[in-house]
Amino acid sequence: MTDKFIPLPQYHKRTQNDMLRQATDFYEQIKTRRSVRDFSSEHIAAEIIDQCILAAGSAPSGANQQPWHFVVIRDAAVKKEIRVAAEAEEQAFYAGRAGGTWLDTLKPLGTDAEKPFLENAPVLIAIFEQKYHIDANNKRIKHYYSKESTGIATGFLITALHNAGLVTLTHTPSPMKFLTQILKRPAGERPFLLLVVGFPAQDVTVPDIKKKTLDEIRSQV
Ligand code: IYR
């Protein structure tokens, strides 16, 4: 994209005391994020969502190809269409396609095939991974590490939405092909994840689950 190099923008070195304080503050903030399954219908300003998508778009990507696309869905008819298609897949999933082991693993979360949040939440963000794009000469240009890149951007997006004071659910109805059709996305794109975004319903509860400890997730050599 460019052969020009510039000084690292806005980098300022801090003391390690400051760095530890920042790192701790950030952890205290991000650890309060919880996946929420009951949303109020309260409206979210488009500008808030757009700033969060800009944050997602700042993620690193293979060869800076930025192989992602975000569709912001607010239209009630489109949300209903997505709910109907997702619930059809989920019914098959919970009726047996998942297999007993998977369903046993999911039990503590209390999920089922009913997905009212797909209509109740004010915003859905459908995230697409672009496997390739077609250039000006009609040539197919492959994207490198598109899945990893889209995963990183999605992490940025979830973090940005949480930081803005919103709650999310990372929803992965499987298969998700219906999103390509309903949202009329091009052939090079694959649905990656459906993010449900909004405010928690009043008196919402979440499962009492714990994250692994540092010793469980980190080793050192
Ligand atoms: N997609 C289904 C099942 C499901 C799967 C996993 I892995 C979860 O962490 C939660 C749910 C559903 O949304 O119900």
The pLDDT of residue 100? 87
Domain that holds residue 111: 34-205
Q: Is 16 domain-assigned?
A: no
> What residues flank ligand 1, with Cβ below 6 Å?
90, 93, 106, 109, 111, 171-174
What CATH code is carried by the domain that includes residue 85?
3.40.109.10
Residue 115 domain-assigned? yes
What is the 3 state secondary structure string of 202-220?
CCCCCCCCCCCCHHHHCCC
**pLDDT of 1:** 58
Residue 60 forms part of a structural domain: yes
How much is the pLDDT for 38? 97
Cα separation, 7 vs 128, whole angstroms: 32
Residue 121 lies in a domain: yes
**Is residue 174 situated within a structural domain?**
yes
At residue 90, the pLDDT reads 94
State residue 93's pLDDT score.
93
pLDDT tens-digit readout, 68-89 = 999 999 999 999 999 999 999 9
Would you say 195 and 154 are in contact if contact means Cβ atoms under 8 Å apart? yes
Q: Which segments in the chain show pLDDT lower than 50?
A: none
CA of residue 171 to ligand 1 center, whole Å: 7
Task: Kindly provide the residue ranges of all beta strands, DSSP E only, lying in 60-173, ordered along the sequence.
Answer: 68-73, 123-130, 132-134, 140-142, 167-171
State which of 94, 107, 111, 178 you would mutate to test the pocket of ligand 1, scoring each by most atoms of that ligand within 8 A of its C-beta.
111
- In tens, the pLDDT along 37-72 reads 999 999 999 999 999 999 999 999 999 999 999 999
- Structural domain count of the chain: 1
**213 in a structural domain:** no
Return d(Cα 51, Cα 110) in angstroms, integer: 33
The reply to whether 212 falls in a domain is no
